[in-house]
Amino acid sequence: MMRRFLGHLTHAITSVCLCTMVITGLAISSARAEVQAPDDLVGKLAVEMTQAVRSDPELQNPGSLKISDFVQKNIVPRFDFDRITQIAMGRNWNKADPAQQKQIVIEFGRLLTRTYSNAIANLKDLDVEVKATRVTTPNADVTVKTQMIGRAQPVAIDYGLINGPAGWKVYDVTVEGISLVAAYRDEFNGLVTSSGVQGVIDALKKKNGE
């Protein structure tokens, strides 16, 4: 089950990274410029971030230490890992004690961070095209619809963002109609059913140790 879950993640992650970097500047840009619609802001920042990757050879080298630093500083802070993990665990979140909850968030965050680092080098060949924005809660919860282009077939990706004290953060990504959080939930449910909450922790640790 975890193998299939990781397959979903790896398939989508290259596309996810670019818009994640785009969203990284959302709160900063909003503070120093007049308020923009989320789709306009994403479009502007997409161009800036794409140019950054294309102009820096170190960000195109999968083994570069600069990529790891870049991910830690610019991508990780824009994901709400606590929220993502709780949604992914679903009803099983309350079956975990506080120490287990903390451990799952840490291990899940490590897995995502490492995968982002491995995918950064591919961004030089991709562009993002913003299609539309759906507002769930004004100024608090939006979905930015985009397409990743630069390969044979465009990839439709929707980003769920929530606005909090630390600014806009990603809490879900939907690739071609498939929510990655929903995919996580299915996998975690299976692991909890077969091996308990500890089964989720062990599976994540095993993957992170590979």
The pLDDT assigned to 90 comes to 95
156 Cβ contact partners less than 8 Å away, ≥ 6 residues apart: 131, 145, 146, 147, 175, 176, 177
Which tokens hold the place of 59? 């960000």
Residue 141's domain spans which residues?
Answer: 2-209
Grouping H, G, I as helix, E, B as strand and the rest as coil, residue 108 is helix
Say what the pLDDT of residue 15 is: 52
Q: Residue 147 is encoded by which pair of tokens?
A: 């397409």
CB 197 within 8 A of CB 57: no
pLDDT given at position 36: 55
Buried b / exposed e over 64-81, threshold 16 CB at 10 Å, is: beebbebbeebbeebbbb
Query: What is the pLDDT, as a whole number, of residue 91?
Result: 94
| Contact present, 3 and 145 (Cβ < 8 Å) | no
Q: What's the structural domain count of the chain?
A: 1
Residue 165, φ and ψ in degrees, nearest 5? -55, -30
Between the alpha carbon of residue 122 and those of residues 12, 36, 193, the distances in Å are 12, 29, 37
Question: Cβ–Cβ contacts within 10 Å for residue 173, how many?
Answer: 22
Q: Where are the alpha helices (DSSP H) in 56-179?
A: 65-70, 81-89, 98-119
Structure tokens, 47? 């161009």
Give the pLDDT of residue 27.
45
CA angle 157, 159, 165 (to 5 degrees): 165
What is the reported pLDDT for 146? 85
Instruction: Report the CATH number at residue 80.
Output: 3.10.450.710
pLDDT reported for residue 38: 62
Tell me the mean pLDDT per 10 residues along the chain, length 210.
Answer: 49 53 47 54 68 82 77 78 92 96 93 72 76 83 86 82 81 86 90 96 91
- Cβ neighbours for 140, distance < 8 A, ≥ 6 positions apart: 162, 163
State residue 37's pLDDT score: 61
